[in-house]
Structure 1
């Protein structure tokens, strides 16, 4: 499939909208159900963290490339995600651990207006290379 681009319409996207966008991109590639589930989990974690802790989503993209699915979520905060030690006394704090488990090559790119978290999930069987934003329609 050829790379495609569309105007970025992702500012303020909700978790449900982001998951639906990711589903559409993965359906076009006939991605296996286990990969879809992992991608949707990563999307949920990154988007909900941007909403909860970073003033909301300012950009969202899902792309399928050779050997990986890449999820990008941008927000307004310069605060980087970090692993918190597990604690039975503090709820939550597992999101970044989940993302790093499912997408071990995840990283953060800081920029003037905040940051972009890039999570690359390995594809275990070939998926047609394509990239493009998940938003738009």
Structure 2
């Protein structure tokens, strides 16, 4: 699966639940960041899942890397480095679970009007 396929899967799932456009945009941003980082920095995407339930959207992205994501300091000389910050801002319930095959990042976005989830 690549970024475009993951975004299309997310769009389809969110359409089934009549998600508001602002939530769709935020979810697609988080999906793009997590999937592209898994491919680029995580030794390859090994899993992707999206689910909608009880006022929240949960995205799970797995990769082969045992290294945790990290914030890079902004630098005018180096492009990028904002993805993890964007994910943590849009999905306040984000956490990382490490396992034998690498790691799984679970990002939870609250629907509008829902309280933020607790990790």
The reply to whether TM is greater than 0.5 is yes
Secondary structure, counterpart of 1:92 in structure 2 = coil
Q: TM-score, normalised by structure 1?
A: 0.80
Q: Partner residue of 2:92?
A: 104
Secondary structure, counterpart of 2:9 in structure 1 = helix
Whether 2:50 is the aligned partner of 1:59: answer: no
Change (3 A) 1:86 1:99: same
Over aligned residues, Cα RMSD in angstroms? 1.0
Task: Tell me, in whole angstroms, the C-alpha distance in 1 between the residues paired with 2:70 and 2:93.
Answer: 14
Q: TM-score, normalised by structure 2?
A: 0.92
Q: Which runs of 5+ in 1 are unaligned?
A: 1-12, 127-137
Which whole-Å deviations, capped at 9, do the CAs of 1:34-65 have from their partners, x for residues lacking one? 10000000000000000101121100000011
Which whole-Å deviations, capped at 9, do the CAs of 1:69-99 have from their partners, x for residues lacking one? 0000000000100111111122111000000
Q: Partner residue of 1:7?
A: none
* Over 4 Å off, 4+ runs: none
Task: Tell me, in whole angstroms, the C-alpha distance in 2 between the residues paired with 1:81 and 1:92.
Answer: 14
1:88-99 alignment runs, 5 A limit: 88-99=76-87
Q: Partner residue of 1:32?
A: 20
Q: Partner residue of 1:71?
A: 59
Q: Which runs of 5+ in 2 are unaligned?
A: 115-119
Task: Number of aligned residue pairs: give it.
Answer: 114
Greater helix proportion: 2
Whether 2:29 is the aligned partner of 1:41: answer: yes
Secondary structure, counterpart of 1:70 in structure 2 = strand
